[in-house]
Structure 1
Amino acid sequence: MADRKSFLLRLDPAVHDALAHWAADELRSTNAQIDYLLREALRQAGRLPAGAVGPRPRGRPKADS
């Protein structure tokens, strides 16, 4: 998997709670929800880089047989 950058994000507690609830509704982690929303905003604005690696597929990885 490609390396990921990590950084500190300060959020208003009410915004964090709303994001966490939204993420739970869509069966994502809060981090994955933020990543999804940022990618969607970039895509809609025409600013998502062509080489941007998408998120990992949801669910468990397939077992090697």
Structure 2
Amino acid sequence: MAKPSKKAFALRLDSAVHSAVERLAAGELRSANAQIEMLLREALEARGISVQISPKPRRGRPPAKPKDA
């Protein structure tokens, strides 16, 4: 199984900031985690730092093996 390209870490936020992120995320149909990542990417881009989006992992079943005839 492929290793995920996401890095997990604990993030401590002020409760008011977390509530604001949750409201913003709900309005944009994202999770709070995805919203924080989007906000970080926007902030980095505003400072002139470009971050490429990692390729998404393939989902679903692997291709079927051909039957020997």
TM-score by length of 1: 0.70
Rate the CA distance shift 1:27–1:36 in 2: closer, same or farther, 3 A. Answer: same
Give the paired residue count: 55
Runs of 4 or more above 3 Å deviation = none
1:53 is matched with 53
Unaligned runs of 5+ in 2: 60-69
- Which one-letter code corresponds to 2:53 in the other structure? V
Unaligned runs of 5+ in 1: none
Alpha-carbon distance between aligned partners in 2 of 1:33 and 1:11, rounded to the nearest angstrom: 14
Alpha-carbon distance between aligned partners in 2 of 1:55 and 1:20, rounded to the nearest angstrom: 26
Percent identity of the aligned residues? Answer: 51
Alpha-carbon distance between aligned partners in 2 of 1:3 and 1:9, rounded to the nearest angstrom: 18
Alpha-carbon distance between aligned partners in 2 of 1:54 and 1:31, rounded to the nearest angstrom: 16
Alpha-carbon distance between aligned partners in 1 of 2:54 and 2:43, rounded to the nearest angstrom: 14
TM-score by length of 2: 0.67
* Cα deviation 1:12-53 (Å, max 9, x = unaligned): 11110111011000110000000001001111211124xx22
Cα RMSD for the two superposed structures: 2.2
